[in-house]
Each structure stands twice: as C-alpha cells, then as structure tokens.
Copies of this chain bind each other. A is one copy, B any other.
Amino acid sequence: MSDLLTSALNPRSVAIVGASENIHKIGGRPIHYMQRHGYQGTIYPINPAREEVQGYKSYAGVSALPEVPDLALIAVGGDKTVAAVEECAARGVKSAVVIASGFGETGPAGRELQDHMVATARASGMRLYGPNTQGLANFGTGAIAGFSTMFIEVPPMDGPVGIVSQSGGMSAMAYGLLRGRGLGVRHVHATGNEADVTASEMAWAVAHDPDVKLLLLYLENIANPEMLAATAAYARERDLPIVAVKAGRSASGQKAASSHTGALANEDRTVDAFFKHHGIWRVRDPHEQARAAHAYLKGWRPEGRRLVVISNSGASCVMGADAAEDMGLSLAELSPVTQADVASKLPGFATASNPIDVTAALLSNSGLFGDVLPAVAQDPAADLFFLNIPVAGAGYDVDRFARDAAAFEAATAKPVAVAAWQETVAEPFRQHGIATFPNEGEAIAVLAQVAKHTELMRRSRVQWDALPHVQVPAGTQGFLNEVDSLGLLARHGVPTVPMHLCRSADEARTAFDAIGAPAVVKACSAEVPHKSEHGLVALNVQTREQAAELFEQFWTKMDDMGVQRDGVIVAATRKAQHEFMVGARMDPIFGPVVVVGDGGKYVEALKDCAVLLPPFSEADVQAALRTLRIAPLLDGVRGEPPLDVQALSRITVAVGQVIVGASGAIASLDLNPVMVGGTSQGAVVVDALVELSKG
C-alpha cells in the first residue's frame, strides 16, 4: 500500500478519544469492531472517567498514552473536538479522524473552526480525516476507526473491493449492497467535509493495496482532480477498474450538494469528460456500483460490444435486442457455420440466428441449452453472451441449465450474464458462480458497461510532447481583437481566413483588390468582441468602393461608441458545407477544457457540443464528433460528400495545444464559425476571440 496514508489505513495503534463502554455509541463501536474483526495493533481508549473500556486500559488523554498512536479517532463533540485535535497534534499523532459534524457544512463560523483544526494539524504534520465523517474501516487488518451501523447489519468479510466516499451513508450503503451480494469488501472509508484529506487522496492510497480489484468512489465534488487523475493512471496500469458516483448531476442536485457538504459544484459535462478521459466509469448511484461488481471481479475485459442473446422465450429475444440497442451493443452476426450448427440442435420452429430462441421446447428437453451453447462459444463474432430465462420452474431442470452455462462460460472465456427473476431459477446459476441479474435490463446494462469501460481503460493515451510555446501580447488582459486572435491561432497552425486590417479607406480599397469579391468587411476593436450585435459586420461586399464606404461607416460608428479603434477588417468570404465551433477555457477545477460542436448563431442555446480534456488526439476528436446530435451530417447526406472531419479535428487538437501551451495566460478561446468543407476541402476559421487571463 502507498505510504501516503498508511498511518490511517493500517495503523499499529489506535486511540479512541471519547471511548465508551456502550458498543452502540460512537465512542464504543470502533473498539467493539476492532476487537471483533481481529485488529492486531494496540487499542487505547481515552476516557478520563474510566479505568477500563471494553476490557482495555483507559487513559485520561492522548498525552497520557505510553506511546504516540498512529491514529486517533476523535469521537467527542462540540468544543471538545477542537481541543482533542490540538492535543493529538501536540503529541505528534500521525492521523486523526474527526467524527463530529457542525463545522464547514454549517456556515462561516463552523468553517472557521474547521480551518483552525486543519492549521493545527498541518503545523504538526498530522493528517486530518473529516470532520463530519463516519470514519475509516480496513477489514484486511481489522483497523476500524468508524462506527457505521451497517457493519452490524451485514457482517463484514474481507475481499477485493475498496470503497471511498465523501458521504458516510453512501459508503455504508455500497458496503451493504456488496456484502448482500456475497462479495467481500476490504476498505470502507468516508472523507466527510474533506478539510484535509480528500477522497482523491484516499483513492490513491486504496488503489495501491494490491489485493483491491475494484475501486468504488462516491463524490459530490472533485476537490483535487490531479490526484484523482494520477490514481486513475496508476489504476489503469495495474488493470484496476474505478467506478464512480458523482452526485449533483442536475441543477437541483448541485444545489442540494452544496448545502450537504458545502461542495463547490463542478460543471457536469466537464465532470463527464474528466471521468471518460481518465477511464473512470460513471454511474448514478451505489446500486449501479454494486450490480456490476461481480462482473468486474470475474475479470471481464471484453474485446468488443457484439452480443449474443439466447432465451427460451421469443418475447425475451425481442426485448433483449431492444435493450442491446438501447445500451449501445450490437447483435453479433453469427457465422453460417455457427447458425447451421445451432439450427441442427433446435426444433424446427426455433430461431438459429441471433437472438437465439430455443423456445418452450426447453421444457421437454432440458439439454437444449447445453446443446446450443457450445455451438456459439467459439464464434469469433461474439464478444458477450446473455442468457435470458424469463420462465422456468416445475418440469425444468434448472440446475442442468446452470451447469451447462458454467461449462459454457469456462469454454468461451468471454463474459456470460444470466437474467432470471425467479429466485428458484437464479439461485442455481449463482451457485455456479455465474453473474446473475433479476432482469435483462440490468444484465445487458452491466455487459455494456464493462465492455465500454474496458475500451476506455485500454484506449491508448495521447502524449503531447512538443507543446507550442504560446506567447501572448505582454501587458494585455481581457479580449484580443479579431486580427490578433486569429493571428495567434494562425501562428500555431490553425488555418484562418485571409484578411487585412485597414486604418484608412484607401487601405480598405487596396485590401479589397487583394481579397476579391465577395468580401466581408467588419470593424475590429478589442473592446467590441460581439461585432454583429452592433451592426459592424457586412457580408457579400462586391466592390472596392463599397469596401471603402463601409470602412468610413464602421470607423465613425466605433468613434460614436467611444471604443478603441483597432481598424477595419477586409476579409475573404468562405463557405462551409457545415459550420462548427471550437472553444477552450481554463476551468477553475479541471484546468484546460476544450469544446467542439455545432456552430453558428445558436451554440449556447442548442448546446450540441462535446467536451474534451487535453491531451487528446485527432481520433479522440472524431469520436467526440460522433456523439453530437448533428453526427449524421458527418458522413454527408443528400448527395453531399462526407465532411472533412480530419481538418476539423486538427484544428481542435491545435486549440487544445494552444491553451495548454499558454500555461494559464489564455483564459478562453472561441472559434466560431469554423467553416468545414467536404472531404479534403479542409476547414478554416472565419472568426475567433481570444481572452487573456486577468493579471
């Protein structure tokens, strides 16, 4: 395990400040739990009023202990909490877990107390967990510095799952759901207000426990994304899947989250992009975490998304096909050999193509599954198998089905999921270790999740080794004017429309002669970022005199507006097969974020765009474009050629490299429209706005 938090996750000694004889009190439970779950270290109850607590010698204070404990659990409330933190820090305790609530989550006064505790801890090098937390639990060592009721409700069993959660309730729930499915859990850690140690840091530590094969996170904000990114990178390296809940997806959810832990809401699309970028799978709630756990722990890492559906009910075949399409899986096209083989095993009226309906004939011939399964097991077109048994019972040899399915799974070495809602049918499959679900929706969702998550984890990571050195005008802040904005982009390889910046009507005439008709004439001022709203753009300019007239008109208008006059642009006209937008901004949490999507006037209203986190490749951009609502247009419709997505992707990568290369000097970039032509016709940026960071 990582050294980072060893004193907390694997302490040699634990002091419990506020120790209680009553095992149902917060100060009593941890001692009881440690005793019960074989903790081998030393337990130091701190309770000045008692000689002994639960059979252990009790001490008056941390300062009175015979040694400095690795970990102190502070289970006292109110003012005593702060005093206990101070005492622990003074004694040199390495880690302290603060259970009490009433701090940062309640408002400024509580926040101040919390800050004081953190400062105290940091001054002495002590790490602080909480406050407002249910604590930590490591069932590998029995070191349980927490009081969750759930450890009584569902008995612990050490196992390959680690849980890290900001919320104590959600850590308990995930634990309970996993244990209810018979899965072992090693780590159950809640970080509460995260005054010092965050869930990301905790995740890093847990990911370094080599026995952990699945890491579950519950987050309401992402306080230090760099640490979570590093954890994810390490996890991918050792093939450890991370499945995260990030609550507060919706506007009202974010509002509720901020009143729950005072968490700063992260913009949800960016959160999605962050998880995707780092190969973390995002789900809605602990139920979705728990339902897929068995599949991950079986080591499922599918090669693709092609599903085979097998059922004894034609209706289930239909609904299985529907569910597969809903979840982004395709039905595998079985080879003619496989189909003939399957057909030879089935009654005449059954279906041998995928989905495979073995029909109610299963009632009279319990060997049908066993006959059919080997025929499909080796078909290279299949990545995933789904057996749906919506009806069975008296007269069906269900145990034989389960045995046949287990043999099949062993033979194919590919994921096999079963749906059976009748407990009597599900049970034999579970006994044979098969991933069994109460309905086809869940079974197919889990197959799809693991297939897509494996893709994300294995996606080859891009390195941007040679980042451009982006220079921004010294002493400037706020918006650059259009010419400077486009110039900056052009210097970094982004194709921009030919244009001239004119300072006189004569210059406008000369520029028009160079550019040719039809030209575009527009005012240029760093103080007027949205020119068209002020009538400062003219399209389809046909003559040099028109250009000169427009120069005079815009020049005067800028003067009337009292804005800085950088000049008037005469630019070439470029037509697009489709107009896109590319943007980038420095997110206060995640740093550089790039957006690409449908362009034009309604970008903000229609929000048909995809978010990418650097570094990313042109292939990543192309995949992102496929998620847009306008994706059908990429291939060309109504006789149009396919769009030059390669050119658009090149621009998007360049924009990402510019914002990263600017090392924080650029606050945002907005390229709109980006005129994209048909195949090989390229793409060109017609207007752009670069915003420099303040100060």
Chain A residues within 8 Å of B, Cβ to Cβ: 24, 101-102, 105-106, 148-150, 152-153, 165-170, 172-173, 176-177, 218, 220, 245, 247-253, 255-257, 259-261, 284-287, 312-326, 330-331, 348-349, 351, 353, 355, 357, 359-360, 363, 390-396, 421-422, 424, 438-441, 533, 601-602, 604-606, 608, 629-630, 632-633, 637-639
Contact = CB atoms under 8 A, between A and B. Distances in A.
A476 to B, nearest CB: 28
A513 to B, nearest CB: 25
A533 B253 contact: no
A320 B315 CA distance: 33
B533 A639 contact: yes
Nearest to A101: B349
B149 A395 contact: yes
Contact of A169 (B102, B314, B439): B314
Contacts of A176: 391, 421-422
A173 B312 CA distance: 13
A38 B555 CA distance: 96
5 contacts: A252-B325, A260-B351, A604-B637, A606-B630, A606-B632
Contact of A102 (B149, B349, B441): B349
Nearest to A285: B319
A417 to B, nearest CB: 16
Given A176-B422, A245-B319, 19 more contacts: A24-B394, A101-B360, A152-B394, A165-B315, A169-B360, A169-B390, A173-B391, A247-B318, A250-B321, A253-B318, A256-B351, A256-B355, A259-B353, A260-B318, A285-B441, A287-B439, A287-B441, A605-B637, A608-B629
Given A101-B349, A170-B313, A260-B314, A319 B424 contact: no
Nearest to A311: B169
A256 B321 contact: yes
B315 A153 contact: no
B394 A315 contact: no
A256 B395 contact: no
Contacts of A247: 315, 318-319, 322
Given A253-B325, A325-B252, A315 B169 contact: yes
A470 to B, nearest CB: 31
B391 A637 contact: no
Contacts of A321: 248, 250, 252-253, 255-256
Contacts of A250: 321-322, 324-326
A170 B315 CA distance: 7
Given A318-B220, A325-B251, A150 B602 contact: no
B606 A629 contact: yes
Contact of A256 (B177, B318, B326, B348): B318
B260 A317 contact: yes
Contacts of A314: 167, 169, 256, 259-261
- Most B CB within 10 A of own CB, among A220, A318, A440, A533: A318
Contacts of A153: 393-394, 422, 424
A318 B629 contact: no
Nearest to A607: B632
Contacts of A248: 318, 321-322
Contacts of A173: 390-391, 421
A249 to B, nearest CB: 5
Nearest to A637: B605
B357 A260 contact: yes
Contacts of A323: 284
A104 to B, nearest CB: 11
Contacts of A259: 314, 351, 353, 357
Contacts of A395: 24, 149
A149 B318 contact: no
Contacts of A637: 602, 604-605
Nearest to A315: B167
Given A253-B318, A285-B440, A313 B363 contact: no
A28 to B, nearest CB: 12
Contact of A172 (B24, B330, B391): B391
Which of A149, A396, A438, A440 lies at the interface centre, i.e. has the most chain B CB atoms within 10 A of its CB? A149
A659 to B, nearest CB: 25
Contacts of A533: 639
A316 B169 contact: yes
A319 B248 CA distance: 7
Nearest to A257: B318
Contacts of A439: 285, 287
Contacts of A257: 318
A569 to B, nearest CB: 22
Nearest to A152: B394
Contact of A220 (B285, B315, B359): B315
B256 A317 contact: yes
